[in-house]
Amino acid sequence: MEITESRHRDILVIAPVGRLDSTNAPIFDQRLSTTLERGDTAIVIDLSALDYISSIGLSVLLSVAKKVRRLEGRVALAGMNDRIRSVVEISGFTRIFEIHPTVETAVAAT
């Protein structure tokens, strides 16, 4: 899995590419933890290049949401395709995360 990062003002946009499953979820989790440790607490997770997310991948997202809330930060999900959006909705994550159609709308709202 490739993970890219970019900045828009003071907001970090982090984007996993490919699959977020048991094979690479620990890598993504570590990357997000490192991000928080260095002080980035305004985060948009760009899911536009994600093809698949497993329950382990969802656990990573839930974990980062809890950590960001404790730090009084904000985290949003953006750019989901229909398949990923369906998994997020069924999992009830729409109550946990701000959901945006694009990174641009997420950055504007964060």
pLDDT, tens only, 31-86: 999 999 999 999 999 999 999 999 999 999 999 999 999 999 999 999 999 999 99
Which one of 3.40.640.10, 3.30.750.24, 3.40.190.10, 3.30.930.10 gives the CATH number of domain 2-109? 3.30.750.24
β-bridge partners, 100: 78
Environment class of 110 (CB within 10 Å of its CB; exposed 0-12, middle 13-18, buried 19+): buried
Domain residue limits, the chain: 2-109
What tokens were used for 28? 């993504």
pTM of the model: 0.95
Tokens of 92: 């009830």
What contacts 30, CB < 8 A, 6 or more positions away?
Answer: none
For residue 14, the cross-strand partners are 5, 45
